[in-house]
Amino acid sequence: MTIGTATHLAEAIELEKRGVDFIVAQGGEAGGHRGTFIGREEEALLSTKELIKAFKESIKTPLIAAGGIMNREGIQEAMRRGVYGVQMGTAFLTAKECPIHTKYREIILLTQKKDNTELTRAFSGRLARGIRNRFLTEMKDVPVPDYPIQNALTRNLRQAAAQQNREEFMSLWAGQKAYLCQDKTASDLIQELFP
Protein backbone atom coordinates (compact mmCIF):
# COMPACT_ATOMS: atom_id res chain seq x y z
CA MET A 1 0.00 0.00 0.00
CA THR A 2 1.25 3.49 -0.88
CA ILE A 3 0.19 6.82 0.59
CA GLY A 4 1.19 10.22 -0.76
CA THR A 5 0.75 13.71 0.67
CA ALA A 6 -0.75 16.50 -1.39
CA THR A 7 -1.01 20.16 -0.40
CA HIS A 8 -2.79 21.31 -3.57
CA LEU A 9 -4.69 19.88 -6.51
CA ALA A 10 -1.77 19.52 -8.95
CA GLU A 11 -0.01 17.25 -6.43
CA ALA A 12 -3.15 15.17 -5.86
CA ILE A 13 -3.57 14.69 -9.62
CA GLU A 14 0.08 13.67 -9.95
CA LEU A 15 -0.17 11.20 -7.08
CA GLU A 16 -3.30 9.69 -8.61
CA LYS A 17 -1.50 9.30 -11.96
CA ARG A 18 1.30 7.50 -10.12
CA GLY A 19 -1.22 5.05 -8.67
CA VAL A 20 -0.96 5.68 -4.94
CA ASP A 21 -3.60 3.91 -2.85
CA PHE A 22 -4.46 6.90 -0.61
CA ILE A 23 -3.78 10.62 -0.71
CA VAL A 24 -3.30 12.66 2.47
CA ALA A 25 -4.87 16.11 2.04
CA GLN A 26 -2.48 18.21 4.17
CA GLY A 27 -4.24 21.47 4.99
CA GLY A 28 -2.50 24.70 5.88
CA GLU A 29 -3.40 24.20 9.56
CA ALA A 30 -1.06 21.21 9.85
CA GLY A 31 1.99 21.43 12.10
CA GLY A 32 5.56 20.66 11.12
CA HIS A 33 6.98 20.63 7.63
CA ARG A 34 4.81 21.04 4.58
CA GLY A 35 4.60 18.10 2.17
CA THR A 36 4.59 20.31 -0.93
CA PHE A 37 6.50 18.80 -3.85
CA ILE A 38 5.19 20.84 -6.80
CA GLY A 39 5.54 24.62 -6.80
CA ARG A 40 6.03 27.01 -3.92
CA GLU A 41 5.00 25.92 -0.43
CA GLU A 42 3.56 29.38 0.32
CA GLU A 43 1.04 28.86 -2.48
CA ALA A 44 -0.20 25.55 -1.05
CA LEU A 45 -1.94 26.61 2.15
CA LEU A 46 -5.63 25.91 1.60
CA SER A 47 -7.48 24.66 4.67
CA THR A 48 -8.02 20.93 5.07
CA LYS A 49 -11.72 21.44 4.42
CA GLU A 50 -11.03 23.32 1.15
CA LEU A 51 -8.51 20.70 0.01
CA ILE A 52 -10.91 17.83 0.60
CA LYS A 53 -13.60 19.61 -1.42
CA ALA A 54 -11.21 20.35 -4.32
CA PHE A 55 -9.79 16.83 -4.32
CA LYS A 56 -13.22 15.15 -4.16
CA GLU A 57 -14.31 17.13 -7.23
CA SER A 58 -11.26 16.19 -9.31
CA ILE A 59 -9.82 12.81 -8.29
CA LYS A 60 -11.09 9.37 -7.33
CA THR A 61 -8.27 8.17 -5.05
CA PRO A 62 -9.43 7.73 -1.42
CA LEU A 63 -8.47 10.61 0.86
CA ILE A 64 -7.04 10.96 4.35
CA ALA A 65 -7.50 14.34 6.06
CA ALA A 66 -4.59 16.03 7.88
CA GLY A 67 -4.38 19.42 9.54
CA GLY A 68 -6.40 20.90 12.37
CA ILE A 69 -8.01 17.64 13.50
CA MET A 70 -7.71 17.46 17.28
CA ASN A 71 -10.86 15.83 18.63
CA ARG A 72 -13.80 13.56 17.91
CA GLU A 73 -15.80 16.39 16.36
CA GLY A 74 -12.97 17.14 13.92
CA ILE A 75 -12.76 13.47 12.95
CA GLN A 76 -16.51 13.25 12.41
CA GLU A 77 -16.53 16.43 10.31
CA ALA A 78 -13.75 15.08 8.09
CA MET A 79 -15.54 11.75 7.70
CA ARG A 80 -18.76 13.54 6.72
CA ARG A 81 -16.77 15.20 3.95
CA GLY A 82 -16.02 11.75 2.54
CA VAL A 83 -12.48 10.93 3.66
CA TYR A 84 -11.47 7.38 4.56
CA GLY A 85 -9.44 8.36 7.59
CA VAL A 86 -7.55 11.09 9.40
CA GLN A 87 -3.91 11.72 10.18
CA MET A 88 -3.39 13.37 13.55
CA GLY A 89 -0.01 14.60 14.75
CA THR A 90 -0.30 17.61 17.03
CA ALA A 91 -3.10 15.99 19.04
CA PHE A 92 -0.61 13.37 20.27
CA LEU A 93 2.30 15.72 21.06
CA THR A 94 1.31 15.96 24.71
CA ALA A 95 0.40 12.31 25.18
CA LYS A 96 2.31 11.02 28.19
CA GLU A 97 4.21 8.54 25.98
CA CYS A 98 5.40 11.18 23.51
CA PRO A 99 9.13 11.80 24.01
CA ILE A 100 9.12 15.54 23.28
CA HIS A 101 11.20 17.90 25.39
CA THR A 102 9.64 18.79 28.76
CA LYS A 103 9.66 22.53 27.93
CA TYR A 104 7.97 21.85 24.58
CA ARG A 105 5.23 19.90 26.35
CA GLU A 106 4.79 22.62 29.01
CA ILE A 107 4.48 25.35 26.40
CA ILE A 108 1.72 23.49 24.59
CA LEU A 109 -0.23 22.58 27.74
CA LEU A 110 0.27 25.71 29.82
CA THR A 111 0.57 28.65 27.45
CA GLN A 112 -1.36 27.75 24.32
CA LYS A 113 -4.81 29.30 24.69
CA LYS A 114 -5.25 30.22 21.02
CA ASP A 115 -3.36 29.80 17.78
CA ASN A 116 0.20 30.96 18.47
CA THR A 117 1.79 29.30 15.47
CA GLU A 118 3.34 30.60 12.30
CA LEU A 119 4.93 29.32 9.15
CA THR A 120 8.70 29.64 9.00
CA ARG A 121 11.81 28.51 7.16
CA ALA A 122 14.08 29.76 9.95
CA PHE A 123 15.05 26.41 11.47
CA SER A 124 15.36 24.09 8.50
CA GLY A 125 15.08 26.02 5.26
CA ARG A 126 11.76 24.26 4.50
CA LEU A 127 8.41 25.79 5.28
CA ALA A 128 7.03 24.45 8.56
CA ARG A 129 4.41 25.46 11.13
CA GLY A 130 5.58 25.89 14.70
CA ILE A 131 4.87 27.74 17.92
CA ARG A 132 6.07 31.33 17.79
CA ASN A 133 9.17 31.99 19.88
CA ARG A 134 12.07 34.44 19.96
CA PHE A 135 13.99 32.70 17.18
CA LEU A 136 11.01 32.75 14.80
CA THR A 137 10.28 36.38 15.62
CA GLU A 138 13.86 37.57 15.15
CA MET A 139 14.35 35.52 11.97
CA LYS A 140 11.00 36.52 10.44
CA ASP A 141 12.41 38.72 7.65
CA VAL A 142 15.88 37.21 7.42
CA PRO A 143 16.54 35.28 4.19
CA VAL A 144 17.81 31.78 4.93
CA PRO A 145 19.37 29.14 2.67
CA ASP A 146 17.26 26.22 1.51
CA TYR A 147 17.10 22.84 3.23
CA PRO A 148 19.39 21.08 4.10
CA ILE A 149 21.85 23.95 4.52
CA GLN A 150 19.76 25.96 7.02
CA ASN A 151 18.91 22.78 8.91
CA ALA A 152 22.63 22.04 9.30
CA LEU A 153 23.39 25.64 10.29
CA THR A 154 20.81 25.62 13.12
CA ARG A 155 21.44 22.07 14.38
CA ASN A 156 23.91 23.05 17.13
CA LEU A 157 21.67 25.93 18.23
CA ARG A 158 18.64 23.64 18.53
CA GLN A 159 20.59 20.97 20.41
CA ALA A 160 22.12 23.49 22.83
CA ALA A 161 18.72 25.12 23.40
CA ALA A 162 17.20 21.73 24.29
CA GLN A 163 20.06 20.90 26.67
CA GLN A 164 19.71 24.29 28.40
CA ASN A 165 15.87 24.32 28.47
CA ARG A 166 15.83 27.45 26.28
CA GLU A 167 12.52 27.09 24.44
CA GLU A 168 13.05 30.44 22.72
CA PHE A 169 15.60 28.75 20.42
CA MET A 170 13.94 25.35 20.00
CA SER A 171 11.93 24.23 16.97
CA LEU A 172 8.47 23.71 18.47
CA TRP A 173 6.51 22.21 15.58
CA ALA A 174 2.74 22.24 16.13
CA GLY A 175 -0.48 22.74 14.21
CA GLN A 176 -2.81 25.72 14.50
CA LYS A 177 -5.03 23.97 17.03
CA ALA A 178 -2.28 22.98 19.47
CA TYR A 179 -4.22 24.80 22.16
CA LEU A 180 -6.63 21.83 22.16
CA CYS A 181 -3.92 19.36 23.23
CA GLN A 182 -4.64 17.34 26.35
CA ASP A 183 -2.56 15.87 29.16
CA LYS A 184 -3.54 12.20 28.71
CA THR A 185 -2.08 8.87 27.77
CA ALA A 186 -2.27 7.95 24.09
CA SER A 187 -4.59 5.09 25.03
CA ASP A 188 -7.01 7.43 26.84
CA LEU A 189 -6.92 9.85 23.92
CA ILE A 190 -7.69 7.06 21.44
CA GLN A 191 -10.60 5.93 23.61
CA GLU A 192 -11.95 9.49 23.62
CA LEU A 193 -11.48 9.94 19.88
CA PHE A 194 -12.86 6.56 18.86
CA PRO A 195 -15.27 5.36 21.60
Distances (CA, A) of 2 to 34, 61, 131, 138: 19, 11, 31, 40
CATH architecture of the domain 3-88 equals Alpha-Beta Barrel (3.20)
Residue 151 region by backbone torsions, left for phi larger than 0, else alpha for psi between -120 and 50, else beta: alpha
Which pTM value belongs to this model? 0.94
What is the per-residue pLDDT across 73-108, written as a single tens digit (0 to 9) for each? 999 999 999 999 999 999 999 999 999 999 999 999
Domain borders along the chain are: 3-88, 92-180
Nearest 5 degrees, angle CA 75-CA 29-CA 98?
A: 70
The number of angstroms, rounded, from the C-alpha of 157 to the middle of its chain's C-alpha atoms is: 22
The number of angstroms, rounded, from the C-alpha of 9 to the middle of its chain's C-alpha atoms is: 18
Q: Classify each residue of 121-141 as buried b or exposed e, where b means 16 or more C-beta atoms within 10 Å of its C-beta.
A: bbbbbbbbbbbebebbeebee
What is the per-residue pLDDT across 125-153, written as a single tens digit (0 to 9) for each? 999 999 999 999 999 999 999 999 999 99
| pLDDT at res. 148 | 97
| pLDDT at res. 40 | 94
Alpha-carbon span 159 to 42, nearest angstrom: 28
pLDDT at 25 over 80: yes
What band does 169 get if pLDDT is binned at 50, 70 and 90?
very high
pLDDT at 112 over 80: no
Across the chain, mean pLDDT equals 97
What band does 113 get if pLDDT is binned at 50, 70 and 90?
confident
